[in-house]
Amino acid sequence: MSDVTDVTDLYHEFGDERLPPGQRETTAFPVLSKSGTPEFDPDTWEFTVTGAVEDELSLSWEEFRALPAVTQRQDFHCVTGWSKFDCEFTGVPFTELAERAGVRDDAVHVMFSALDDYTTDLPLEDCLREEVLLTWAYDGEELPADHGGPLRVVTPHKYAYKGAKWVDGIEFLTDPEPGYWERRGYSETADPWNEERYS
């Protein structure tokens, strides 16, 4: 992997400190999943982009991997209180998929879905940022299955539950809808520097 873009300084937009309030830095990378790690079959896997778009998309694993990708160094903040600095993720920017599908003007919100029936939602403007990636590699290696391999979303400007592991769908919504943890009391907005943990 050649060019690595460092986006670890995005915290300047949200707060003074790289480590958000109430977080502690860890060098470990704990695994947090609501249920186990789902099976991935590259032959039947299908990624869909649906909802308020001009052209709905359906991509095989091979087609997804052929999309243009970037590598970024990012931080990772878990709502349970740990942060991990300098994670190197390689993948497709959310904006690339949004452009290919042609997001309609009435889209305001986004729902991500995953192989383990997890969902999470974000306002559209929070997704249309360069650091929101659909990533398949971590520190130059294939993304481990426990961490969401083959494909996961990363959202370094939000608590990490906003990043769906095993992601296989993006739906553009004209009205906000809550995802899995958001229905269970976690924050809709999830800004780590404002400690938006619960709703």
Largest interatomic CA distance in the chain = 46
- Residue 92 or 120: the one with the smaller Cβ distance to ligand MTE is 120
In 3-state terms, what secondary structure has residue 172?
strand
Interface of this chain with ligand MTE, residues 57 to 96, rule: CB under 6 A: 78
Is residue 161 involved in binding ligand MTE (CB under 6 A)? yes
- Least distance (Å) from Mo ion to the CB of residue 2? 32
Q: In Å, what is the CA distance from 76 to each residue of 83, 158, 159?
A: 5, 8, 8
- Residue 136 or 161: the one with the smaller Cβ distance to Mo ion is 161
- Residue 97 or 120: the one with the smaller Cβ distance to ligand MTE is 120
- Residue 88 or 102: the one with the smaller Cβ distance to ligand MTE is 88
As a whole number of angstroms, the distance between CA 81 and CA 59 comes to 35
Q: Which stretch binds Mo ion (CB under 5 A): 24-32, 97-105, 108-116, 148-156?
A: 24-32
Element containing residue 152 per DSSP (H, E): strand 152-154
Q: Which stretch binds Mo ion (CB under 5 A): 1-9, 29-37, 43-51, 125-133?
A: 29-37
- Residue 102 or 123: the one with the smaller Cβ distance to ligand MTE is 123
Interface of this chain with ligand MTE, residues 114 to 143, rule: CB under 6 A: 114, 116, 118
Characterize the bridge pairing of strands 109-114 and 70-77: unpaired
* 141-147 LR contacts (CB < 8 Å, sep 24+): 145/37, 145/40, 146/31, 146/33, 146/37, 147/29, 147/31
In 3-state terms, what secondary structure has residue 184?
helix
Binding site for ligand MTE (CB under 6 A): 30-34, 78, 114, 116, 118, 147-148, 160-161, 163-166
Binding site for Mo ion (CB under 5 A): 32, 78-79, 161
